[in-house]
Amino acid sequence: MHSDKVRRRQTVLAVSFLLAAIFFLTAAANAAPVKNLIVLIMDGCGDEQLTLARWFKGAPLALDDMRTGAVKTYTSDAVIADSAPAATAYATGIRTAGTMIGLAPPVKNIPGLPPSAPELALKPQASVLEGARLLGKATGIVVTSRISHATPAAYFAHVGKRSQEEDITEQGVYQGIDVVLGGGRRYLLPAQAGGSRQDQEDLTAVLRSRNYQLIEHKDAFTKISEPKVYGLFAMSHLAPEIDRPDLAPEQPSLAEMTQKAISLLSTNKNGFFLMVEGSQIDWACHANDPAHLLSDLLMFDQAVQVALDFAKKDGQTLVLALPDHNTGGLSIGNRRSDETYDKLTPEILLAPLKKMRRSAPALWQSLGADRSPERIREAVRRDWGLDISLEHARQIADLAKTFGQEGHYALGEVICPHYTQLGWTTHGHTGGDVPLFAYGPSRPVGLLEAQDIGRLSARALGFDLELLTMRLFVEAGQAFPAEAVQLDRTDPHNPVLRIQHQGRQAALPLNKNLLLLNNEQVALEGIVIQVAETGKIYLPLEAVHRIKGDSKPLPAIQK
Ligand SMILES: [Zn+2]
pLDDT band at residue 84 under the 50/70/90 scheme: very high
Residue 536: pLDDT above 60?
Answer: yes
The mean per-residue pLDDT over the stretch 34-52 comes to 98
Mean pLDDT, rounded, of the chain: 94
CA distance 9 to 11: 5
CA distance 469 to 473: 6
What's residue 108's pLDDT? Answer: 87
What's residue 359's pLDDT? Answer: 98
The rounded Å distance from CA 388 to ligand 1 centre is 28
Residue 143: pLDDT above 50?
Answer: yes
What's residue 103's pLDDT? Answer: 97
What's residue 14's pLDDT? Answer: 54
The mean per-residue pLDDT over the stretch 210-220 comes to 97
Residue pair 189/196 in contact (Cβ under 8 Å)? The answer is yes
Residue 29: pLDDT above 50?
Answer: no
The rounded Å distance from CA 432 to ligand 1 centre is 14
Residue 7: pLDDT above 60?
Answer: no
pLDDT band at residue 32 under the 50/70/90 scheme: confident
Adjacent-strand bridge partners of 329:
none
CA distance 172 to 77: 27
What's residue 23's pLDDT? Answer: 45
The rounded Å distance from CA 149 to ligand 1 centre is 11
Could you confirm whether 331 is annotated as catalytic? no
Mind listing the pLDDT tens digit for each residue in 425-478? 999 999 999 999 999 999 999 999 999 999 999 999 999 999 999 999 999 999
Instruction: Find the catalytic residue in 3, 16, 76, 83.
Output: 83
The mean per-residue pLDDT over the stretch 211-228 comes to 96
Alpha-carbon dihedral of residues 236, 414, 282, 124, nearest 10 degrees? 80
Residue pair 428/286 in contact (Cβ under 8 Å)? The answer is yes
What's residue 25's pLDDT? Answer: 44
Residue pair 315/63 in contact (Cβ under 8 Å)? The answer is no
Instruction: Provide, rounded to the nearest whole percent, the portion of the chain with pLDDT above 90.
Output: 93
What's residue 12's pLDDT? Answer: 52
The rounded Å distance from CA 452 to ligand 1 centre is 22
The mean per-residue pLDDT over the stretch 519-523 comes to 94
Mind listing the pLDDT tens digit for each residue in 376-414? 999 999 999 999 999 999 999 999 999 999 999 999 999
Structural domains in the chain, CATH included, are 38-287+302-330+428-469 (3.40.720.10), 349-422 (no CATH), 473-548 (3.30.457.10)
* Range scoring the smallest mean pLDDT among 106-115, 287-296, 361-370: 106-115
Residue 478: CB partners within 8 Å, gap ≥ 6?
A: none
What's residue 234's pLDDT? Answer: 98
What's residue 1's pLDDT? Answer: 42
DSSP symbols for 283-328: HHHHTT-HHHHHHHHHHHHHHHHHHHHHHHHHSSEEEEEEESSEET
pTM of this structure: 0.94
Nearest to 382 by CA among 404, 405, 411, 350: 411
The mean per-residue pLDDT over the stretch 324-336 comes to 98
The rounded Å distance from CA 508 to ligand 1 centre is 35
Residue 152: pLDDT above 80?
Answer: yes
Adjacent-strand bridge partners of 320:
39, 438
Burial class (CB in 10 A: 0-12, 13-18, 19+), 135: middle
Region of residue 125 (left: phi > 0; alpha: psi -120 to 50; beta: else): beta
What's residue 244's pLDDT? Answer: 98
Residue pair 324/435 in contact (Cβ under 8 Å)? The answer is no
Residue 11: pLDDT above 80?
Answer: no
Residue 26: pLDDT above 50?
Answer: no
pLDDT band at residue 519 under the 50/70/90 scheme: confident
What's residue 6's pLDDT? Answer: 52
The rounded Å distance from CA 47 to ligand 1 centre is 16
Residue 34: pLDDT above 80?
Answer: yes
SS3 state of residue 405: helix
Residue 432: CB partners within 8 Å, gap ≥ 6?
A: 46, 73, 326
The rounded Å distance from CA 428 to ligand 1 centre is 7
